[in-house]
């Protein structure tokens, strides 16, 4: 019975907002990226148990053109998502990561 009560209290974090929170937390802790000048949009996310894969578009504030598209692999730890790795490519004609963005790793692992 106690297990049922505990499992019923688990927070539902299988949503774009919880994933975005994890991505933003990762970016603020590993880089000096000026997030105030960007719109960060979770364009797609899929959940598989305690893992999630997210596609994220970074756009300059007020524009619709994506400067950077990143893929993030996340792992559920309790009631939050934690970014485990990232990889990405440029959108909209850019050729470099925005200043301060953590380096995109080769092969999708960090």
Supply the CATH number for residue 55's domain. 3.10.450.630
Q: Which of residues 16 and 100 earns the better pLDDT score?
A: 16
Asked if the structure places residue 103 within a domain, the reply is no
Number of folded domains in the chain? 1
pTM for the model: 0.71
Q: Which domain holds residue 24?
A: 2-95
Any domain includes 55? yes
SS3 annotation, the chain: CHHHHHHHCCCCCCCHHHHHHHHHHHHHHHCCCCHHHEEEEEEEEEEECCEEEEEEEEEECCCCCEEEEEEEEEEEECCEEEEEEEEEEECCCCCCCCCCCCCCCHHHCC
Confidence of residue 110 (pLDDT cuts 50, 70, 90): very low
Mean pLDDT for the stretch of residues 79-105: 69
| Domain contains 104 | no
| Domain assignment of residue 102, yes or no | no
Establish if 63 belongs to a structural domain: yes
What is the pLDDT confidence band of residue 99, given thresholds at 50, 70 and 90? low
Query: Is 107 within the bounds of a domain?
Result: no
Q: What is the pLDDT of residues 17-71, one digit of tens each?
A: 999 999 999 998 876 677 888 899 999 999 999 999 999 998 988 888 878 899 9
Over residues 22-35, the pLDDT tens digits come to 999 999 887 667 78
Is residue 14 situated within a structural domain? yes
Q: Is residue 101 part of a domain?
A: no
Percent of the chain exceeding pLDDT 70 equals 69
């Amino acid at each position: 019975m106690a297990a049922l009560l505990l499992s019923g209290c688990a927070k539902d974090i299988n949503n774009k907002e919880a994933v975005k929170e994890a991505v933003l937390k990762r970016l603020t802790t590993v880089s000096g990226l000026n997030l105030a000048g960007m719109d960060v949009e979770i364009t797609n996310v899929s959940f598989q148990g305690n893992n999630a894969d997210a596609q994220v578009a970074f756009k300059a504030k007020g524009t619709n053109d994506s400067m950077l598209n990143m893929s993030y692999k996340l792992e559920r730890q309790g009631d939050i998502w934690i970014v485990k790795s990232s990889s990405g490519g440029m959108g909209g004609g850019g050729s470099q990561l925005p200043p301060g963005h953590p380096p995109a790793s080769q092969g999708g692992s960090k």
